[in-house]
Amino acid sequence: MFRADSPYYWRMFNKLPLVFLSLFLFHVGCAPSTADHVDTDPIQQATPEPTPISHPMVARINAILQEGWNVTQEGNIIRITRREPVTLYNNIALPPRGAGLREVMENGRRVKYEITIKVSEFISRKEFREMADANEKTDRELRITRGAMERFASKGEFRPSTEQDRELYSEYQQELRDLPYHQLPDLYDSQNSYYISTTRTRRDSFSYQREERECRAVLGNIYSFADAYDDLVKAAAEDDFFDYPWDRNVDQAFISGRDYDSYVFQRKLNLPEMK
């Protein structure tokens, strides 16, 4: 041991503050820095958006779709769009065949052509039949009223001129508002039902047959991926060797000629709030 009166003892004693300071600084340096630490609350962290799940129908369409078309999906809506517009003309009140008709066709409007598929929950054939029966009842009532208005019908529109005619037309408008009518699905498989529509209306015709064949072929391919609700009914009622019932389904969808299309067209044509 060093003696208290030893010079060495006092030199060591004077160095003690430096030793304690060094130990303190070493401890502070080893401690985790609060500036580098950020508390993360898992509740406040941004939740990543879920990856959209593509419906199997999208892949099937993409696999056979020809060049010049796009397929997109947004929610339960699938859109098949032709990149280049098509030429359509109004097929109401056309001039006689010849130069006048050819001029109308060549001067048609260029519009986007798109097929839309709305995917829904599966609807059974029984549910389909119940909705179709309700529609037929509404159709019968609307036909009776339209038949009474034939005297003031012109070029597919109603033009009442007398008070009696206007009362009858007002009755027809109210029937279009109030009577129930269901949009029927066009196709189904084991998982879903599908509603098909296109941007073409009943009053539109294609100016160029090549564009018409192309668009119909795309629609026909879509119909080959599922069953139509009335396939079996038509096959039993008709000679399917000469009259293919699935082709008729495609034709009616292609020209927007189904009963529901006609019903929607009448509402748009005759109800001011639909225009």
The answer for residues whose C-beta is within 8 angstroms of residue 219's C-beta and 6 or more apart is 115, 196, 198, 250, 253, 254
Q: What does the pLDDT read at residue 102?
A: 84
- pTM above the 0.75 mark? no
Q: What does the pLDDT read at residue 214?
A: 97
Q: What does the pLDDT read at residue 230?
A: 74
Q: What does the pLDDT read at residue 22?
A: 52
Sheet strands (E) in 19-111: 69-74, 77-82, 86-90, 109-111
Residue 155's region, left for phi above 0, alpha for psi from -120 to 50, else beta, is left
- Candidates 156, 170, 178; CA nearest to 266 is 156
Q: What does the pLDDT read at residue 274?
A: 85
Q: What does the pLDDT read at residue 99?
A: 75
- Candidates 64, 56, 55, 54; CA nearest to 221 is 64
Q: What does the pLDDT read at residue 236?
A: 47
Per-residue pLDDT of the chain (275 residues; tens, 9 = 90+): 444 454 544 454 455 454 454 554 445 455 554 444 444 444 455 555 555 568 999 999 999 999 999 999 999 999 999 999 999 999 887 888 777 888 888 889 999 999 999 999 999 999 999 999 999 999 999 999 999 999 999 878 999 999 999 999 999 999 999 999 999 999 999 999 999 999 999 889 999 999 999 999 999 999 999 999 877 555 445 555 555 545 788 999 999 999 999 999 999 999 999 87
